[in-house]
Chain A
Amino acid sequence: MERFAFLGRFARNRGALVGAILLLGVALMALLAPLFYPTDPLRIVAQPELWPGDDTAYPLGTDSLGRDMLAMLVHGARATLLIGLFASAVATVIGVGVGAIAGYFGGWVDEISMRTSELFQTIPNLIFVLTIVVILGSTLHNIVIAIGIVSWTPIARLTRAEFLALRDREFVQACRSMGMGDFGIILREILPNALPPVIVLSSLVVAGAILFESAVSFLGLGDPNVASWGRLVGDGRELIRSSWYICAIPGVAIMVTVLCLNLVGDGLNDALNPKLRDR
């Protein structure tokens, strides 16, 4: 019943509902990409720079080499979403780990953790990502790890705050008096209670990660074997005088996806904190 009430609160937020539906569409597109376009999307199929609508076989036109824009967009959704999700997962694991330990143990552990997170906030994030990618190589997993490394600090701070609020509650004290170990308490008692707001924040980190990845790929430093949306915008850059749609279309895709993620994140936040809803 509680769960339905939550869904009801979420659905009452029209923006969040629209965001969730659109996001579902993008995810489906990513999942079913190989079904609609079983061949390599980077294959040349028609004459270059066909404008959208010129040929009904290529509804979004073709790029500078004559590759199908729609096929690339659909396959790009896969790359972009996967990178966003995995990078956010990396950030969440680091952030929850650091935040939980800092908040639970306090003292010098907390001090060191928070100074470290300050350090990572000081280094200009995208510059850090580019440096890591350049030094370790432009592979998919290096990009995912690099984005995770610059995105964990807000999650750590939030997790720490949740742990600080929960660590002296009665149920935790009860566990402690029963002789439960620190890590048992952290993982099995406090973490499940601290997790909901953290998950909301992770969904917003996915949006940030997608923007990071698109910037890296746009600058031509993405994995050369992956055609993410950012790379498509970068590829179209030279042709803005004759065929600006090549840049415009994948950019709209990035924007809509990020927008939907933000809407869903806000909606989840409101649904979790009904007190704040009427602000």
Chain B
Amino acid sequence: MSAARGSSRGRAAARLLRRRLIQAVPLLLGVVVINFVLIQLAPGSFLDLMTAENQVSDPATIELLRKTYGLEDPVWMQLLKYIWALLHLNFGFSYRQNMPVMQAIWINLPATLLLMVSSIVLAFAVGVAAGVVASVKVRTFWDTLVSIAAMFFFAAPSFWLGIMMIVLFAVKLGWMPVGGMETIGGAGGGIASVLDILHHLIMPTLALGLFYAATYARVMRSSMLEVAQADFVRTARAKGLSRTKVTLSHVLRNALLPVVTILGVQMGTVLAGSVVIESVFSWPGVGSLLFDSVSSRNYPVVLGIMVLGSLVVIAANIAVDLVYMWLDPRIEIR
């Protein structure tokens, strides 16, 4: 019985995955077209700007660029060629890093993913816990405290929060490193290195994650209060289950659904937020690369990050849908 049910859910998950992957195609195509339009909108010739900003003067290289971007072709042909190149993961060449754009992004990706994942985990854990406390102790001191903290972190710009943390915990108290991902000169390898990276990760994670923790706490609180009034909760209480058991196993699980939804929608925002946080903490990730590329008008890298960033968001959203399905088996996602 339970095995059959498990396999049918597995099949449903596979179906969902297939549908989502098919839906992702037009989405990605849209991102690419937007990119292309932006290139066309750039004042002056895209090529002139790019070569000037990157100090390329070799005529052979310029000719090569002209060919790669097919600048003599009609616009629709250029778009097709652009899509063709992207299909082969060819985002062009970055003269600043002297390597293909794809490789430059790839090198910086792990640091950003680490920061994103740790911030989301923090935001989810803190937000859900705070929301549960506030809803269980509704209209008490704890509820007010959670509300006030959530309001504060919901309004504070993340980069400012980061700088203030650096002032307090790194400059004044000396507990935390000012920035970077590792102690210069190394921490001695092995576990010491891992701990060293974790030590560097604390403040960026807090600066990026607390805004989302505030969001989740607010949503979780009202969602818990709403679910607590549902009929099935009253039934569970009437069955004689204790209040704690009902709260944890019935209310919590169902109240998580809106939080998970928001988490999926906000995935792109988290990635974008890491751009600013990486700049504040000199975190060597995609955000730092983007900032550097933006400042030096290194368009191929900027556009490459936009496409890959969208890809990360789409993947994360699919993951969230699967989690959603696991949390609420009643839901058959379109």
Contact = CB atoms under 8 A, between A and B. Distances in A.
Given A136-B41, A136-B43, A230 B269 contact: no
Interface in B143-165: 151-152, 154-160, 163-164
A204 B167 CA distance: 30
Given A135-B39, A259-B155, A123 B306 contact: yes
A123 B309 CA distance: 7
B327 interface: no
A135 B151 CA distance: 35
Nearest to A211: B157
Contacts, number: 143
Contact of B310 (A124, A135, A237, A279): A124
Given A121-B265, A124-B272, A137-B43, 5 more contacts: A119-B34, A135-B42, A136-B41, A218-B276, A255-B156
Interface in A120-145: 121-128, 130-132, 134-137
Contacts of A180: none
B157 A218 contact: yes
A241 B174 CA distance: 12
A112 to B, nearest CB: 10
Interface in A74-129: 115-116, 118-119, 121-128
B152 A259 contact: yes
Interface stretch (A41-49, A54-62, A243-251, A267-275): A243-251
B13 to A, nearest CB: 21
B160 A254 contact: yes
B310 A134 contact: no
Interface-central residue, A119, A136, A262, A279, by most chain B CB under 10 Å: A119
A255 B271 CA distance: 22
A110 to B, nearest CB: 14
Nearest to A129: B272
A248 B271 CA distance: 25
Contact of A125 (B42, B268, B290, B303): B268
> Nearest 8 pairs between A and B by C-beta?
A251-B160, A126-B272, A259-B155, A124-B272, A124-B268, A258-B155, A119-B30, A124-B309
A201 interface: no
Interface string B253-289: 0000000000001001101110110010000000000
A125 B269 contact: yes
A70 B152 CA distance: 23
B157 A124 contact: no
Contacts of A256: 155
Nearest to A132: B38
A207 interface: yes
5 contacts: A122-B310, A126-B272, A135-B38, A214-B160, A263-B151
B313 interface: yes
B47 interface: no
A115 B160 contact: no
Contacts of B164: 244, 247-248, 251
Interface in B301-328: 302-303, 305-306, 309-310, 313-314, 317
Interface string B213-233: 000000000100100000000
A221 interface: yes
